[in-house]
Amino acid sequence: MKNYLIKSRQGQFLVAGIIFATAGFFAGVTGNEFSRWLYYIAIFFLGFYASKKAVVETIKGRSPNVDLLMILAAIGAVIINFESEGAALLLIFASAEVLEDYATSKSTSAISELMAQVPETAQVLKADGEVVTIPTEELKIGDQVVVSKGEQVPIDGSVDRKVIINEAALTGEAIPVEKESGDEVFAGTLNEGNVFNLEVLKTSDQTVFSNIIRMVEEAQSRPSRISKFIDRIESKYVISVLVLVPVFIFFMYAVLSVPFEEAFYRGMVFLTVASPCALVASATPATLSAISNGAKNGILFKGGAAMEALSTMETLFTDKTGTLTYGEFKVDDYSLPEETLKEVIFMEQQSSHPIAQAIVSAFKEVDLSTVNQKEEVNEVAGSGIQKGQIRVGKPKAFSDFAHYEDFKQYFNKGNTIILVAEKDTVVGYFSLSDQLRLQAAEAVEQFQKEGIKVTLLTGDNEEVAEKVAKVVGVDRYIAAMLPEDKITYVKDSQNKEEVVGMIGDGINDAPALANADIGIAMGSGSSVAMESSDVVVVQNDLSRLFYSYKLSKRLNKIIFQNVVFSITVIVSLIILNLFGVLGLPLAVLLHEGSTILVILNGLRLIGSKPPKNKEVKPVQTVKA
């Protein structure tokens, strides 16, 4: 906070105002008439930003704001020779404004922390062998970048050899992963192996990290529902106060026969205590604090509304592959004619699906020179891919094909089964297995303890779905689903007036994520899934999602506390003023003090930390 006051212009004006107000107080105590001028100077510094905001926003938005009320109250205090009270009013108001601005800067520090994880420069290898250092934002697709041992990867790209990369910054997984030649690595991750060359695949504004930073920035510009409501009523409330103050003064003077000077004085007290400073500050600082906290702990919220809504979730649908499981398949078994196998490997090379990558990886030594690589590979929506007369996909898509029954014996062994057909005949299969994420079962259990119904929606077969559901402990599962089926389940629950959350990571999950009340994407998932969601689990740790659910509940609780407290203070002070027992100094102290308390209450969320993960026993490899 000290550094902020020194570096921020608004903070500097506050410090200057405090110095002159203090000098005015001591001069007044000693009976020095110069104290009045010291208070005037203090009022200038303390009221400068409030005056600027009051004039600019009132003209620009064609509606008055709370700053205007404070400036008018201070001017009124000066008119009736209460310069010290006017200075005190602006001192506390300016302190609250600086504190709120500080809360905003703390929340934006999450962006700075994220940006600090990506190098600002890169070592580019030129065609003549020279290595030059250039800013990361100047890198172009196709550039060759040298990444030394122990250095962070500056940009997303593909490696030229086998490397060891620590992806903890993105995935939260502490164990480094091996990458083969041609595999993609991401900006911000750490090279723990030998030096390698990287071919740039994306510009600096297209990387995974840049997308994360952009989402945090967008989140801070999207207010919560209660913030938008308060913003809507602020101008109407201010206009009401501006109308009521002269009416109040007239009533005191003409009806109750109070001397004009006292009536005007109490009118200034009314103007001060009726101002909705604390109410206006009830939601925004707290929401920004919660969003910042989430970002620091690996959960990105695309705005305050998403943060607020998470606590109201009643039903949670979750995808399986890449969500409850790692989505890192391996081929356990297969049966296929040799030439057909080559065709399938070539077809799967055109797909980024985890199953396709597993098949390609398992047969990377196979010679594909005899394959017709000019023939087009097409996606069969929701079920697989096709090249000429060869088709690869989920068993459900082949139920009418010849020899389908011959392969049903493999379906009930708990593996993911992929069938291959030529023309209208099934000719072979692949059997693949996956592994559960360690925190999946724990997170599901925690959500269910909170009364949230958790349902597994998967395109996999019944046997796989049943086994995963049993290991993870979900309430319910539905197998063999197409992307459109997931949307149906989401909408059916919404029709029952349930608040629905959906977790997914793939392109096929994007429609359901977009339709859910709270779409939740895994950070390792597709960019389409992240764009379609409201929340992104950056490090793929579902226990952090549950922490954010609890954080959302705390946020709503704090906002409720702030709103009730601020309204109570305003009403109480207005009543005390009506009975003439509230002086301007005490009114200033209580009213502006309540604003500071409200902001500090919201700032508590910045320092909140998730509980340490329990030691989770390794989960068995599920044939899923």
pLDDT in tens, 138-184: 999 999 999 988 888 988 899 998 888 887 666 555 557 778 888 88
Interatomic CA distance for residues 191 and 270, integer angstroms: 64
Interatomic CA distance for residues 344 and 420, integer angstroms: 8
Q: CA end-to-end span of the chain, whole Å?
A: 51
Q: What angle do CA 301, 307, 312 make, to 5 degrees?
A: 135
Choose, from 67, 319, 534, 541, the residue flagged as catalytic.
319
Position 620 scores a pLDDT of 44
For residue 347, what pLDDT band results from cuts at 50, 70 and 90? very high
**Two tokens at 272?**
């001060």
Interatomic CA distance for residues 336 and 343, integer angstroms: 11
Beta bridge partners of 165: 177, 191
CATH assignment of 299-324+437-540, among 3.40.630.30, 3.40.50.1820, 3.40.50.1000, 1.10.10.10? 3.40.50.1000
**What percent of the chain has pLDDT above 70?**
87
**Two tokens at 438?**
């360690």
| 121-206 has CATH 3.60.15.10 classification | no
pLDDT at 562 > cutoff 90:
yes
**Two tokens at 466?**
């049943």
Tokens 């065709």 correspond to what residue? 343
Position 224 scores a pLDDT of 58
pLDDT in tens, 518-546: 888 887 666 667 777 888 887 777 888 89
In which residue ranges of the chain is CATH 3.40.1110.10 found?
A: 330-435
319 is catalytic: yes
Strands (E), 479-622: 500-504, 518-522, 535-537, 621-622
In which residue ranges of the chain is CATH 3.40.50.1000 found?
A: 299-324+437-540
Residue 152 class from Cβ within 10 Å (0-12 exposed, 13-18 middle, 19+ buried)?
middle
| Other beta carbons less than 10 A from residue 325's beta carbon | 28
**Two tokens at 403?**
């020899």
pLDDT in tens, 476-534: 899 877 767 888 888 899 899 899 999 988 766 778 888 888 888 887 666 667 777 88
What number is the average pLDDT over the span 535-559? 87
Assign domain 330-435 to its CATH architecture.
3-Layer(aba) Sandwich (3.40)
In which residue ranges of the chain is CATH 2.70.150.10 found?
A: 121-206
Q: What angle do CA 348, 351, 354 make, to 5 degrees?
A: 90
Cα 339 → chain centroid = 48
| Other beta carbons less than 10 A from residue 462's beta carbon | 14
- DSSP letter string over 31-96? T-TTHHHHHHHHHHHHHHHHHHHHHHHHHHHSS--HHHHHHHHHHHHHHTT-HHHHHHHHHHHHHH
CB 462 within 8 A of CB 480: yes
